[in-house]
Chain A
Amino acid sequence: MENKEAYWQENLRLIFICLAIWFAVSFGLGLLLVEPLNAIRLGGYKLGFWFAQQGSIYSFLGLIFWYGAKMNKLDKKYHSEG
């Protein structure tokens, strides 16, 4: 394939963005900021509690599929499928 280094750098940037979100929704909203967030309600859920027990899991799912789709595009761009 052409330009391995550029491919790897784009991949690293993508991983960094995904892991920042991964950290923010679980450790951030679910643990560190849980108290202030609990003042906000989402139906019967306190918001911090919801992130810890539901929201973070849905976010993880979205992240993995988004990353997969972005990487498939990157593989095509750099002719690196297979």
Chain B
Amino acid sequence: MDELKLYTYIAVFGTFALYFGIAWWARAGSTSDFYVAGGGITPFQNGMAIGADWMSAASFISMAGLIAFLGYGGSVFLMGWTGGYVLLAMLLAPYMRKHGKFTVPEFISDRYYSKTARIVAVVCLIIASVTYVIGQMKGVGVAFSRFLEVDYDLGLVIGMVVVWVYAVLGGMKGITYTQIAQYVVMIFAYTIPAVFISLQLTGNPIPQLGLGSTLADGSGVYLLDKLDMVVTDLGFKEYTTANMGGTLNMFAYTMSLMIGTAGLPHVIMRFFTVPSVQAARQSAGYALVCIALLYTVAPAVGAMARFNLMNTIEPAAGENLVYDERPQWFKDWEKTGLLKFEDKNGDGKVQYTANAETNEMVKVDRDIMVLANPAIANLPNWVIALVAAGGLAAALSTAAGLLLAISSSVSHDLMKGVFVPDMSEKNELLAGRVTMTIAILFAGYLGMNPPGFAAGTVALAFGLAASSIFPALMMGIFSKKMTGQAAVWGMISGIGVTMLYVFQHKGIMFIPGTSFLGDMGANWFFGISPNAFGAVGALVNFGVAFAILKMTAPAPDHIQDLVENMRIPTGAGAAHDH
């Protein structure tokens, strides 16, 4: 066994042992433990747990890669996935914490005095969470197969067993403490390589400052200026100004991600675990601190990865890498099929250009940028091993949060809330564990046999949350008169419009060949891409709900009193059952 493999095994299995230990220590004894971790999590602990919950395999592995290739256009992810926390802190978290229930559909059911509303909310939640969790399971499989050199399927099974142990045993309580550990692993794994690379390239150890510094080669040229020059020379768009589909599209995309973030139930649920309204506001702040630590480093990781990649292939203008002399990381990633070279002009050298006819790097998968980054920059093996453990922590922590959101909506909202209202606490806890097990098996199955729509999952999850759940929650708090009927039709039309738009351009359930309008910019509504359409769906939701409200009688008095009560922090006890 070589050194790298040994270190990787130590890092991965060492962190797993840590998660198991924590799970055993924090096992759940009641439904309150299982759904809201007993309600005793401090704001800072909750901030770290939200950070781990929120930052998925997509944030950890894919985002910097996206930014590396999109340049300025990648800003939509940075602003969108952080700006949502401002909305959460001011518009949702404190009021939902005051109301003090276990799940998001439960809140909707109480506020809109309707079982229909609860069921609609459960359906939205399950579609959004299931589509999202498939991506995480795939991330687990890919990370295992690359780093431990096992089969994709076996890697996935290992991941399922790990999540099963700590999620089923500990519920929200186990997940919270495990996520705190996972956050620490992730943030070290992300920032340590970034610090090394920033130091190498610019001499500044702080990546956020390094990105704005001059190169350490003594030329006195700023890193970003040099990067702009290198990429435009090869025919790519300028890094710092490359737009993504026009300003309106970027605007809508950012807005969709912001309100989608604020509407994703597995994040909102975490605000039920703190002891007071003040703590809920504060934990949104700490959550953003924890998230910003990674999100402000990501642009540096992206830009520096692109810079290093370009430099490896073409160290000086016109002086290209000889293919036979390619570095080890190049060979490693070629084996996975994520990196492909084709010697089109037969000169044995690598030409990487924007022109499809002369470009010889026929495949450079964006997802390899973070994982391959330490190797590209020649960092020591223990750093590479740490990145492997971090990537797995990111995927596992988000998967656990999503699975809890799914299983609690089934066991608490459907079984206890609608079908078997007189279930005992002991049975409900058991039901929670059984549904969690089923959810893991189901997610694992989908991870092994990804359906056609897996590729579009993130777009769908955010679009759904943005167009259905966020508006319903916000109107429930800020409009005392809003009725259940209006909210239900708002949710249905918001989701409906969004799904229709996504499907008409991406195919029904993303099945190739079924799109009836074609996935082309020319057919997009004002140039808004399907991924960015959640913002329009949300507008439709608000519009329909207020139109119906105008035509019907306002919500009954006891509901208006309930909303008034929700708006003041006094008397928020522990999150409780009915």
Contacts and interface: CB of A to CB of B under 8 A. Distances in A.
Given A22-B83, A44-B211, A67 B254 contact: no
Given A45-B212, A80-B568, A82-B571, A64 B284 contact: yes
B208 A54 contact: yes
Given A4-B568, A64-B288, A54 B79 contact: no
Nearest to B565: A4
Contacts of A68: 89, 278, 281-282, 284-285
Most buried by B among A11, A19, A34, A68: A68
Size category, B interface = 35 or more
Central interface residue in A45, A60, A72, by most chain B CB within 10 Å: A60
Contacts of B292: 57-58, 60-61
28 contacts: A4-B568, A8-B567, A8-B568, A18-B86, A18-B90, A27-B251, A31-B75, A31-B250, A34-B72, A34-B241, A38-B240, A42-B212, A44-B223, A46-B240, A49-B224, A52-B72, A53-B72, A53-B74, A58-B292, A63-B86, A64-B86, A68-B281, A68-B285, A71-B278, A75-B277, A81-B278, A81-B570, A82-B571
B120 interface: no
A26 B75 CA distance: 10
A65 B285 contact: yes
A60 B211 contact: no
Contact of A82 (B276, B296, B299): B276
A44 B250 contact: no
B213 interface: yes
A18 B84 CA distance: 13
Contact of B85 (A49, A50, A60, A79): A60
A59 B296 CA distance: 12
A52 B86 contact: no
A52 B83 CA distance: 11
A14 B278 CA distance: 16
B208 to A, nearest CB: 6
B569 A57 contact: no
A40 interface: no
A30 to B, nearest CB: 6
A71 B288 contact: no
Nearest to A49: B240
Contacts of A53: 67, 72, 74-75, 78, 299
Identify the interface centre among A7, A19, A22, A65: most chain B CB within 10 Å of its CB. Answer: A65
A43 B406 CA distance: 47
A15 B477 CA distance: 13
B569 A82 contact: yes
Interface in B137-156: none
B568 A7 contact: yes
Interface hub of A32, A35, A64, A78 (most chain B Cβ within 10 A): A64
B85 A52 contact: no
Contacts of A18: 86, 90
B114 to A, nearest CB: 25
A21 to B, nearest CB: 9
Contacts of B241: 34-35, 38, 46, 49
A60 B214 contact: no
Contact of A32 (B240, B247, B255, B296): B247
Contacts of B289: 61
Contacts of B75: 30-31, 49, 52-53
The 10 closest A-B pairs by CB, nearest first: A44-B222, A52-B75, A43-B212, A44-B212, A64-B285, A53-B299, A45-B212, A68-B281, A64-B89, A49-B240
Nearest to A16: B90
B242 to A, nearest CB: 10
Contacts of A64: 85-86, 89-90, 281, 284-285, 288
B354 interface: no
A72 B43 CA distance: 15
A58 B288 CA distance: 10
B83 A31 contact: no
B91 interface: yes
A11 B74 CA distance: 34
Contacts of A34: 72, 241
A9 B574 CA distance: 27
B568 A1 contact: yes
A79 to B, nearest CB: 8
B82 A60 contact: yes
A80 B570 contact: yes
B233 interface: no
B295 interface: yes
Interface in B384-429: none
A15 B569 CA distance: 16
Interface in B543-575: 564, 567-572
Interface string B222-248: 111100000000000000110000010
B90 A15 contact: yes
B294 to A, nearest CB: 10
Nearest to A27: B251
A69 to B, nearest CB: 9
Contacts of B214: 44
A1 B82 CA distance: 34
Given A49-B75, A64-B85, A80-B569, 9 more contacts: A8-B567, A18-B90, A49-B241, A52-B78, A56-B78, A57-B78, A61-B285, A64-B89, A67-B281
